[in-house]
Amino acid sequence: MTSLVLTLVAPREATTLDTATLSLARDVIRANGEAVILSPGEAVDIPCPASARTVLPQLHDQLGGKFDAILTPAEGRRKKLLVSDMDSTIVANETLDDLAALAGIGDKVAAITARSMNGELDFATSLRERVALLKGLPLSLLEKAWQDVRLNPGAVELVRTMRAHGAYTALVSGGFTFFTSRVAALCGFEENHANTLLADSTGHLTGAPGLPILGAQTKLELLQKLTTHHGLENTATLAIGDGANDLPMLRAAGLGIAFHAKPVVRQAVSAQINLTSLRTALFMQGYPASAFVSA
């Protein structure tokens, strides 16, 4: 029977892992080994039997929604491939929504984005609809939107720590290469993929995206292509994202993580980071904070 590890992580700004919480978690999951402190007061690994899966909902209830608690197989925890979404995952922004807000049409575009990310609207259709609303805007607006882009906490640590331990890293987004190329450079991703925005000879957006449109299937195919190219077993792969267009790659990866995800994603993916930062994606792989590589 497969043995598991419970990774318990506290949101550092709100609370801390104390002895009583660790004791409660050990009792509920019937821990069968000694806890390993990954970051004092913040993160711990607790070995447990496969039966812990059946009591994880009970543990969440007893923890009162104050901690992230994730179960992963004890074997092969450190992944050799990371494929990550960008918007609302590596960065705090929805960059297309930000661009639209600067153009004064933020509410219209954000409403379409929300429907798409919740799986209520086909991604390619939603992208065409949103980009059409940007027709006539100057390319200079992209630069202005970039000034407001912020990396999510732990993004740099996640990418650089995995690379330092031999993993290959790729950023893939239904957004645009204007942003992914810059975010990839900041974090240290080795490659990035996204859609393009078409402009006319006067430097204004045409209202159409370049073809083909990168969506859910493209993200899945990139994960599969890189897995094969690097000669990896599927169990050695990690994908992380938040929206409906991330679901195929999250389901296919050895470890798919729903990061502060939309309801449709949380319903489908068991490994979830709902309260804490991207640091937790490293704790889930057994990395102690002392091994993290920062900027």
190 within 8 A of 170, measured Cβ to Cβ: yes
**C-alpha dist (Å) from residue 39 to 25, 68, 243, 288, 289:** 17, 14, 29, 6, 5
Residue 85 designated active-site: yes
According to DSSP, residue 152 is labeled P
**Cα distance between residue 59 and residue 94, in whole Å:** 33
CA of residue 179 relative to chain centroid, distance: 16
**C-alpha dist (Å) from residue 132 to 17, 104, 127:** 49, 14, 8
Residue 18 designated active-site: no
Number of C-beta neighbours around residue 14 at 10 A: 10
Catalytic residue among 87, 97, 98, 242: 87
**Cα distance between residue 127 and residue 122, in whole Å:** 9
Place of tokens 């239904």: 174
Catalytic residue among 85, 97, 98, 242: 85
Which of 275, 250, 266, 282 lies closest to 83, judged by CA? 250
**Cα distance between residue 115 and residue 109, in whole Å:** 10
Write out the catalytic residue numbers.
85, 87
